[in-house]
Structure 1
Amino acid sequence: MRSATKILVGRLSFVSLVVILICYRGRSENDSASSHFNVPTGQLEVPSTVPSSSDEFRTPGDGGGCPLSSSAPQGRSLQLDDLFSYESEWRSAPYNIFLQESSCNPKPSYRVWCAVESLAQQNPDALVWYIMTSPVADQSDDLAPSLTQIYKNLRVAKVDLKTVFSNTPLEDIYTAGLWRKNNTWPEINLADIMRLAVVWKMGGLYADSDVVCIRQVTQLTNMIAWQEGFTLGSGVFHFSRHHPVLKLVMEYIKENFQPEKWGSSGPIVFTRILKDLCDVKDKKKRCLGVSLLPIRSFTRFLRSYGRLCSCPRTRGQLGRDTHRRT
C-alpha cells in the first residue's frame, strides 16, 4: 500500500533531501534515549481495563472531554494525564513540538506512532507532545509506554478542550459545537481549530500526524511553508506563544467560520491573512516576522511508510498494520 507522506526536512535543498533519504540511518535506541528530560512516572504504568461504560466515551458533548462518539478500548489501557497538568514543563521547555488526535480514537495507527517517534528521535532537546482527545490510549501492544521509556522527551497526554479554547477567539465556535454541524468531517474541523489554540497558548511547532521527521527542526521558529498552488500549508508551522499572526487567524475564523468548506480553517485562512497583511503575491520570504518557506521545505513523497520510517520501535508493527490495510 502506498501513501502520501510528508517529510519534515527544514531548510534543505532537493539534492540534500535525496541524499538523506538514501543514506539516513536511525540512531541506536541508547542514543535516542539520551535527553535532558525525565519521563513522567504516570506514563509508564499500564493500569487495568477501562470499563466500557465510561462516561468519557459515551456521548459527544460541549464539555472538555471526548468531543465525538467513541467506544472504550477493550483490554489494557493507559490512563493519560491532562496536557495542562504539565504546564511547568511546556512553559520551560526550550522547544515544543505538537502532534494531535482529534477523533477520540484510543488506538492511533502505527503510522501515527511512526510520526511521533520520528520527531522525538530527531529532536532530543525538544519536548514532543502527542495530544489525544481520547482520555486513554489502548495498550494491547504496549507501544506508548515503550516509546516514552525510550524517548525521554516524549509525552502522551489527553487534553481538556474547554481549557484549550477558553479565552481565545475560537471559544464560542467550540462551546456551541459549530465545528460539528452541517458537515461530514467534524474531526477535521476540530483538528484545524485545535492546533491553532494549542500553539497560541503554548508556543511551538505543530506537525500533522503523517509527518515523518528525518532531521532536527528546532532551528525553525515563527514559520510556515508554501504548498501546492498558491497557498500556505497548515500541516507544519511554528509560532511563538501568543504570536499576533495566530490571533489574527483565529479572529478571522471566528467571523467567517465555514464548517462545510474543506480547509477553510487551515490553508485558506493562513493564505488570506498573510496575503492581506503583506501582499505576498510574489511569495515574499518574510511577513510580520514570520518566515514563508519554499515548498521544498516540507515535501510529499509517494513512498512506503515501512521503507521510509527509521523508527526502530514502530517499524516492525508498521509493516503488519500496512499488510492488514492493503
Structure 2
Amino acid sequence: MICCSLKAGFSLHFPKAIHKIWPVNILSKGNGVMFLETTDRMNPPSFVLCAIESAARVYPDRPIVFFMKGLKEINSEDDQKKAKGHFPTLSSFNNIFFFPLRMEEIFRDTPLLPWYEKVNPEREEHWTHVSSDGCRLALNWKYGGIYMDTDIISIRRITGGNFLAVESSMYVSNGVFGLLPQHNFTWWSMENFVEKYNGAIWAHNGPHLFTRVLKQMCAIQELITVEDFMCKDITLLNPQRFYPIPYESWELYYEVWEDLPTFNDSYALHLWNYMNVDHMTVIPGSNMLMEHLYQQFCPSTYGALQRNESTVL
C-alpha cells in the first residue's frame, strides 16, 4: 500500500509521454488522504491549511488531495504548480495535490447520481454539509483511503486498515474514516443516504447515516467508547483517537492550559469548527492550546501567521 520510503517522501514516476495529472492517477493505490471544499471559497482559513499541512507531514509517503469546488481545470504539473502557488505554506510539499470538485462527475456510477440530479440545492438548508456528506462517500467508494474534515489536525499516523471513528456512545462520526476502495460499508451508506434522505435534519446524512448502517451491519445496540473494537473487517476507534476534547468543550482549544495535554492516545484532533460561530482563531504569542498545536503540527502555516504573511495569494 505504501508507494515509497518515508525518507524519500511521495513521488510520481510517469512516462514522459504522460502529462495529465488526474485524481485517478494520484489516488490509484488507495492510500490517499482526502479533504473537501464544497463552497466556491478559494481563501480557506488557517485551520484548513493547518489540517492539510499536518496530514502532509504525518503521511509523507501518501498523496494528500484537496478537492475544491471553486478550482478551475487541473490536468498537468504546471496546473498543479499554479494551484499550489495560491497557498504558499503548502507549496513546498510534493505530496499535496489540488483538484476541482465536480459533483456530477464524482457521483457518476454511484447510487447518489439520481439523487443529485433531482435535488434542488437552493431549497436545501444545509446544502454545503449535505453535499459534502455525499461527496466523501462517492470519493471513498472510488478511490478508498482516508477522508478527513478540514478542521482535523493530524498528529500521528493512523495504524491498521479499515476504520470508523466512534464519537460517543450514540454516534459514529463521518468526519474522519478510512476504507478500502469499493467497500461494502461505503456502498450501503450511499444507498441509505438516498433511501432515508432528509436535508432538513442536521447530521441525518452524516454521523446518523454511518450509525444507522453500522448498526444494521453488525447488530450493535450501543457503541463502545473506552476501547477500539471490531465490526466485521472495520475497526471502530474509540473517541480518544479523534475526539479527546468533545464538541461541547470545543473552546478549550482556544484557552491557555497550565499543563498542555499530550494526546498520546490520539491520531488526530477534531477542532469542531462548526461550533466556532465567533470565528476564533490562532493568535501568535497567546499561548493558547491551538497555538501550540499549530507550532508542532503545521509550523509552515504558523510561521506565516507569526510573520503576519498572507497564507493565500
CA distance in 1, matches of 2:7, 2:86: 15
Partner of 1:236: 176
1:92 pairs, out of 24, 29, 51, with 29
- Code of the aligned partner of 1:119: A
Shift, 1:313, TM fit: 1.5
User: Where do 4+ consecutive residues of structure 1 move more than 3 Å?
Assistant: 139-143, 316-321
- The answer as to whether partners of 2:144 and 2:179 remain within 8 angstroms in 1 is yes
1:294 aligns with 2:238: yes
More displaced, 168-177 or 304-313? 304-313
Partner of 2:127: 186
CA distance in 2, matches of 1:247, 1:141: 33
1:174 aligns with 2:116: yes
1:246 aligns with 2:168: no
Runs of at least 5 residues in structure 1 that lack an aligned partner in the other structure: 1-31, 41-80, 322-326
- Equivalent residue runs for 1:1-80 within 5 Å: 34-38=8-12
- The answer as to whether partners of 1:111 and 1:210 remain within 8 angstroms in 2 is yes
1:131 aligns with 2:53: no
- The answer as to whether partners of 2:161 and 2:178 remain within 8 angstroms in 1 is yes
Task: Evaluate the alpha carbon distance shift between residue 288 and residue 98 of structure 1 in structure 2; reply closer, same or farther with a 3 A threshold.
Answer: same
1:207-243 per-residue CA deviation (whole Å, 9 max, x = no partner) reads 10000011122x3421101113411011110011010
- The answer as to whether partners of 1:227 and 1:295 remain within 8 angstroms in 2 is yes
Shift, 1:107, TM fit: 1.2
- Give the number of the structure whose residues are more often strand, by fraction: 1
Identity %: 25
Partner of 1:314: 301
- Code of the aligned partner of 2:141: W
CA distance in 1, matches of 2:305, 2:151: 13
Task: Evaluate the alpha carbon distance shift between residue 103 and residue 238 of structure 1 in structure 2; reply closer, same or farther with a 3 A threshold.
Answer: same
1:196 aligns with 2:137: yes
Partner of 2:76: none
Shift, 1:36, TM fit: 3.4
1:164 aligns with 2:106: yes
CA distance in 2, matches of 1:206, 1:140: 21
Aligned pair count reads 244
Partner of 1:64: none
- What's the TM-score once normalised by structure 2's chain length? 0.70
Runs of at least 5 residues in structure 2 that lack an aligned partner in the other structure: 1-5, 73-79, 246-251, 255-289, 309-313
Q: Give 3-state SS (helix, strand or coil) of 1:238's partner.
A: strand
Task: Evaluate the alpha carbon distance shift between residue 289 and residue 177 of structure 1 in structure 2; reply closer, same or farther with a 3 A threshold.
Answer: same
Task: Evaluate the alpha carbon distance shift between residue 271 and residue 86 of structure 1 in structure 2; reply closer, same or farther with a 3 A threshold.
Answer: closer
1:39-58 per-residue CA deviation (whole Å, 9 max, x = no partner) reads 99xxxxxxxxxxxxxxxxxx
Q: Give 3-state SS (helix, strand or coil) of 2:300's partner.
A: coil
Task: Evaluate the alpha carbon distance shift between residue 320 and residue 233 of structure 1 in structure 2; reply closer, same or farther with a 3 A threshold.
Answer: farther
Shift, 1:89, TM fit: 2.3
Q: Give 3-state SS (helix, strand or coil) of 2:35's partner.
A: strand
